[in-house]
Structure 1
Amino acid sequence: MTDAERWAYLAEGNAKQARKRVAADVLVRDPAGRVLLVNPTYKEHWDLPGGMAEANEPPRAAAERELREELGLVIVAGRPLLVDWDGPHGPWDDQLVFVFDAGTVTDDQAAAIRPIDGELAAVEFVPPEVAADRLRSDMAGRLARALRALAAGTTDYGERAHR
């Protein structure tokens, strides 16, 4: 097999393989231990900051880009706290969901965070138990798992099939 034939074979395989949507969120805390939530204009519930990765964009870079674009916040995302496979549901194919540790901001930094993108109506630091009430149930579960992973120094992995 020539190099050209091998590349053509690999390109055909690449074109047929599954493509995954990737969501990349971050866990940002303030000195009081409250977590940053965002209120998207296009969803019913609050959410963790972050968003969808673009084609060929690493999940960590996607999370950092979304923070810059939506909040003007320049943060280097740390280790992954959570990785989930979320099965197909409704009109959506399956996706991978990442939650990265984005550390603790200072009180001054927290007070300065504002939406700078029309996709967000509001931002707020709230205690984790309040966050759980504002988030969609699956995201509330992810937040709880991410906080446990943060405390334990681990990364949580899960799979969620929809019926």
Structure 2
Amino acid sequence: MRPTPGDPDAWNAYLAEGNAKQARKRVAADVLLRDPLGRVLLVNPTYKPGWDLPGGMAEANEPPEHTVVRELREELGLEITLSGLLVVDWVPPHGPWDDQVAFVFDGGTLHTVEELLPRDEELSEARFVSVGKARELLPQRMRNRLSEALAAASRGRPVYLHDGHTAW
């Protein structure tokens, strides 16, 4: 017999058992951040090949929007305010990785652009580049995500993707 909310201890144990059986998703959170010339900020991670949008992986029970703010503070010393969501991308299992949900938030325009120096060992470089150069530097999945993020920012409406491609 299934417990009821009338027995809080039994009910919470029942819910915890169900929760333990649910899938766990990895969560990534990145930001589209531009300078006054319209260039986009890219970072060069030391732990994987290729360039990336700034951001990173969420810690346990961390909201994605907090993840990207934390990552920019830790890695580049930037304090940013997000202005909205641009992309949600479901990425299927690949290589040794399970599936993940990746978010791209709008960081707006950084008006005081000084030289951006990485503050930890996870990044070797950070720089603003033209959108065209960004498309050359980014791996295909991120290139698609960047294009969709730019389009979503223009439309004023977020987009949902499957592995970097429009879902519908």
TM over 0.5, yes or no? yes
Residues of 1 paired with 2:73 and 2:44: CA distance?
A: 16
**How well do the aligned residues superpose, as a CA RMSD in angstroms?**
1.1
Shift in Å at residue 58 of structure 1? 0.1
Report the structure number with the largest CA radius of gyration.
2
Partner of 1:5: 10
2:68 to 53, 63, 66: 63
Residues of 2 paired with 1:77 and 1:49: CA distance?
A: 13
Residues of 1 paired with 2:94 and 2:163: CA distance?
A: 10
After TM superposition, the structure 1 = structure 2 runs for residues 71-150 of structure 1, keeping only pairs within 5 Å, are 71-106=76-111, 109-150=112-153
Question: Which structure has the highest helix share of the two?
Answer: 1
Shift in Å at residue 160 of structure 1? 2.3
Shift in Å at residue 4 of structure 1? 1.0
- Structure 2: which 5+ runs fail to align? none
Residues of 1 paired with 2:139 and 2:163: CA distance?
A: 14
Name the % identity: 58
Q: Deviations over 1:15-36 (max 9, x none)?
A: 1101100000000100000000
- Structure 1: which 5+ runs fail to align? none
Counterpart of 2:155 in structure 1: which amino acid?
Answer: A
Structure 1 ranges of 4+ moved more than 4 A: none
Residues of 1 paired with 2:82 and 2:117: CA distance?
A: 19
Contact 1:46/1:135 (CA < 8 Å) preserved in 2? yes
Residues of 1 paired with 2:125 and 2:8: CA distance?
A: 54
Shift in Å at residue 112 of structure 1? 3.4
Q: Deviations over 1:5-63 (max 9, x none)?
A: 11110000111101100000000100000000000111110000000000000000000
Partner of 2:34: 29
Residues of 2 paired with 1:17 and 1:89: CA distance?
A: 20
Residues of 2 paired with 1:92 and 1:78: CA distance?
A: 30
Residues of 1 paired with 2:83 and 2:62: CA distance?
A: 17
